[in-house]
């Protein structure tokens, strides 16, 4: 018990709203597998006394007159100790499960359920504490809370200072919607400062970069065995209902070495959007307004044979002046995209190591 110092102060929770009575344990084997979910459910009126009924808020199981099987104070104390080990002492999930004789899957579900309830009950307080967004950087990735066989996928977004911005569970079969939902949990004032989004090669993160258009640069480090070490730096430019997708293909050691010339491949792809069609003849106002729109002129320019849509280029990386200079085949838009990336990863590898390390911290199996 010495390790649980100030247990009641650090874990100030009560599962029962009424007066607590210390009852003797029963020999009955009718147990409920849900942790921390027992609530009062009225009274049993006996001949000489009234006794509280107990119900599980998760599965709805009622215990009625079998209440003597529960030592309520001991039960609540056990829950506090488990929470203390998980969140204060940061013990590994496997060790806590083994110590208390609880299946790891049940313990993982309990931890996620507890975090979710705390956030819901204190969401206004939590969301008012806006996190800073140094350099406008957000890192996003998915992880498993527990072993892959018995745990759901969770999406995590952090800033460049290693602080968690938002989390959310990934719905099976709809990862894109889950990523967008988790991203929009970040307060709007913080989201609007986004300039650089760093993720792995999961295609669903492109939907975030699309929302912001040319304002946001997306850095994707590919993790598949054949593409390991490859990095794609991209941005989207809104073109009416369509998009132009600017892409630079480089590698994770692009800015690791000192002064040198960096060569890379690039391409500009046209992504066709949906155009709303109206029934009937167009109005004169519609035809006159859309005839000379600027985006249509850009589209015509892109579709012409003289417009170069892909190629190779070189830039000179100066570590002393922190500037990138145009060399053969390079254009100004490439310099504008690579300069902020260079400032972040100068002398480092372009990786998602920060978010990967955050996953280890969340799962309690990293260095902390």
Query: Each residue's pLDDT tens digit in the chain (368 positions)?
Result: 567 878 877 787 765 544 444 443 443 444 555 656 677 777 777 777 777 777 777 677 776 555 554 556 677 788 888 888 888 888 888 888 888 888 888 888 888 778 777 766 665 555 555 678 999 999 999 887 655 555 578 899 999 988 889 888 888 778 899 999 999 989 888 999 999 999 999 999 999 999 999 999 999 999 888 888 899 999 999 988 899 999 999 999 999 987 789 999 999 999 988 776 667 776 666 655 555 577 888 888 888 888 999 999 999 999 988 899 999 999 999 999 999 999 999 999 999 988 888 777 766 554 43
Using CA atoms, how far apart are residues 41 and 63, in angstroms rounded to an integer?
9
Question: What are the residues facing 54 on neighbouring strands?
Answer: 40
Using CA atoms, how far apart are residues 197 and 291, in angstroms rounded to an integer?
36
Using CA atoms, how far apart are residues 153 and 111, in angstroms rounded to an integer?
14
Using CA atoms, how far apart are residues 281 and 275, in angstroms rounded to an integer?
16
Using CA atoms, how far apart are residues 126 and 169, in angstroms rounded to an integer?
18
Dihedral sign, Cα of residue 40, residue 41, residue 42, residue 46: negative
pTM (2 d.p.) = 0.65
Residues 344, 252 contacting (CB under 8 angstroms):
no
Closest CA to 341 of 224, 151, 197, 191: 197
Question: What are the residues facing 267 on neighbouring strands?
Answer: 247, 310
The label of the residue with tokens 């759901």 reads 152
All residues at 6 or more sequence positions from 36 whose CB lies less than 8 Å from its CB, including other chains? 15, 79, 110, 113, 114
Alpha-helix runs per DSSP H in the chain: 7-10, 72-83, 93-100, 104-121, 123-128, 175-183, 188-191, 206-212, 284-291, 294-303, 332-345, 353-362
SS3 79: helix
């Amino acid at each position: 018990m010495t390790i649980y110092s100030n247990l009641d102060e650090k874990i100030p929770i009560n599962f029962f709203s009424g007066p607590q009575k210390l009852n003797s344990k029963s020999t009955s084997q009718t147990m409920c597998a849900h942790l921390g979910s027992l609530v009062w459910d009225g009274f049993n009126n006996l001949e000489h006394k009234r006794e509280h009924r107990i119900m599980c808020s998760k599965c709805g199981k009622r215990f009625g007159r079998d209440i003597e099987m529960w030592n309520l104070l001991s039960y609540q104390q056990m829950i506090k100790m488990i929470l203390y080990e998980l969140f204060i002492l940061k013990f590994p999930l496997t060790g806590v499960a083994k110590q208390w004789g609880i299946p790891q899957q049940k313990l993982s579900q309990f931890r996620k359920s507890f975090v979710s309830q705390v956030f819901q009950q204190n969401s206004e307080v939590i969301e008012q504490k806006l996190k800073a967004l140094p350099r406008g950087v957000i890192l996003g990735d998915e992880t498993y809370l527990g072993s892959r066989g018995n745990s759901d996928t969770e999406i995590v977004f952090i800033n460049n200072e290693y602080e968690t911005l938002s989390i959310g569970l990934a719905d099976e079969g709809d990862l894109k919607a889950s990523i967008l939902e988790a991203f929009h949990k970040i307060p709007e004032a913080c989201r609007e400062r986004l300039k650089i989004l760093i993720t792995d090669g999961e295609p669903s993160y492109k939907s975030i970069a699309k929302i912001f258009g040319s304002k946001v640069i997306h850095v994707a480090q590919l993790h598949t065995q054949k593409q390991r070490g490859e990095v794609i730096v991209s941005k989207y430019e809104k073109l009416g209902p369509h998009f132009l997708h600017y892409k630079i293909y480089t590698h994770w050691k692009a800015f690791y070495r000192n002064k040198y010339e960096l060569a890379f491949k690039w391409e500009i792809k046209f992504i066709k959007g949906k155009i709303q069609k109206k029934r009937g003849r167009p109005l004169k106002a519609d035809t006159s307004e859309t005839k000379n729109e600027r985006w249509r002129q850009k589209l015509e320019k892109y579709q012409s044979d003289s417009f170069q849509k892909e190629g190779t280029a070189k830039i000179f990386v100066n570590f002393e002046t922190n500037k990138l200079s145009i060399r053969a085949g390079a254009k100004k838009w490439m310099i504008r995209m690579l300069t902020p990336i260079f400032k972040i990863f100068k002398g480092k590898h372009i990786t998602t190591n920060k978010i990967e390390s955050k996953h280890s911290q969340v799962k309690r199996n990293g260095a902390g």
